[in-house]
Amino acid sequence: MGKAYIAAASMIPFGKYPDRTASDLGREAIGSLLEETGIETSAIEAVYAGRAFSSHIDGQVAVPGQVALAASGICDVPVFNIDNACAACPSALHLATQAIRAGQYEAVMVIGMDKLYATDRRRSMRALFGAMDVEKMAWMSEALDGDGKAGSIFMEHYYARIAREYLKNTGATERDLARIAVKNRKHASLNAVAQYRKPMTEEEVLASPVVAEPLRTLMCSPLTDGAAAFLVCSENAGKTFGLPLVEVAASVVRSGMPQRGTADPVLARASARAFEEASIGPEDVDLAEVHDASAVAEMIAIEEIGLAPAGEAKRLLRDGDTALGGRIPVNSSGGLLSRGHPGAATGAAQLVELVWQLQERGGDRQVEKARVGLAQSSGGLVADEAAATAITILRR
């Protein structure tokens, strides 16, 4: 079986685009990729488009990939629309990678595009509610239809609870959560496409409004719109493009187990499989992009991936190991907390950051001598475990 590579990656600035559809944002990302690389559209043999939540906001229920491709010059090719919640784009990359490795295609495009921001917050929360078991969680739907404040579904009913458990079990503190928010904002200040770039202090984070104890507003990811695109190809095709190739060393997608019992968490299971596929270990990773939908999620991910022993992510954080210039920078892009969280496009942005870093295009946030990068995306919630978790390892 052959290898798959990412030859190029592009993304638009993340932010709030109330007057644009996700497909329109995707069209911009596609145009940027084609313009930056000079690739002929005839070279693209298939398109894999990740999109999850925006239909609840912009009304484009089906065929978002085909709409995004309009006027791009890419036509008469298979277009696959992938919905796997926040893991939609790395899931799309997973399928694209399989096709390239199998020799079905020489070059394909992968798109991640989505919207989570709506002027009516209830529409955003309704979209996120769709990433749960809507039948079993019907009581939450009734709450959304009420007259009270829309709140934040995942933060109030999931992340706050696991944050309380994590702090109690590990000795980590609310200030550690603030440290993560400050670190990621500092990284985002160096990223021109991040949603929030103004540096902030731990005191500002701790003084921000409470969402649900112990989480405060600045410890939680914002509602974001955005899009990104990639050129995925075989080695032979890559040579004709003349672009620096980044190998997809591992692409693993796993779903949670309704009755986990004594099994490891889905993130640990997916990570172990990814390291096996890439024939490396956690110690070989030079940088990581993880799904920090809340600050505590970064700490948990670091441990479950194997970048730190259980309960020891706080030590890496306090010692500066996970900051730029540290031993294993985490979320050099700014993470979901500051780069932004546009659902299906979130995993796309993580992959863009790794590609840029491995191609030495990181600018002021370049990780020195970066050769191996890992991205973790998790989406949805079923039976108290992520409904979809993707681990991608890229290598140059």
Q: Which residues are catalytic?
A: 86, 341
Question: Beta-carbon neighbour count of residue 320 at 10 Å?
Answer: 14
**CA-CA distances (angstroms) from residue 339 to 263, 348, 390?**
33, 12, 19
Residue 220: DSSP 8-state: B
Residue 91: DSSP 8-state: H
End-to-end CA distance of the chain: 19
Residue 250 identity (one-letter amino acid):
A
Contacts 24+ apart (CB under 8 A), 382-385: 382/132, 382/133, 382/255, 382/256, 382/258, 383/133, 383/256, 383/257, 383/258, 383/259, 383/260, 384/256, 385/256, 385/257, 385/260, 385/265, 385/266
**CA-CA distances (angstroms) from residue 45 to 76, 110, 162, 221, 225?**
9, 11, 43, 36, 27
The answer, yes or no, to whether the previous bond of 329 is cis (omega within 30 of 0) is no
Q: Do the Cβ atoms of 54 and 63 come closer than 8 Å?
A: no
C-alpha dihedral, 337 to 340 to 341 to 342, nearest 10°: 170
Q: Do the Cβ atoms of 381 and 84 come closer than 8 Å?
A: no
Burial 129-145 (b: 16+ CB within 10 A, else e): bebbeeeebeebeebbe
* 3 state DSSP class of 377: strand
**In the structure encoding, which two tokens stand for residue 306, read together?**
């194997």
Beta pairing class for 385-395 and 287-289 = unpaired
**In the structure encoding, which two tokens stand for residue 374, read together?**
């890992």
Residue 155: DSSP 8-state: I
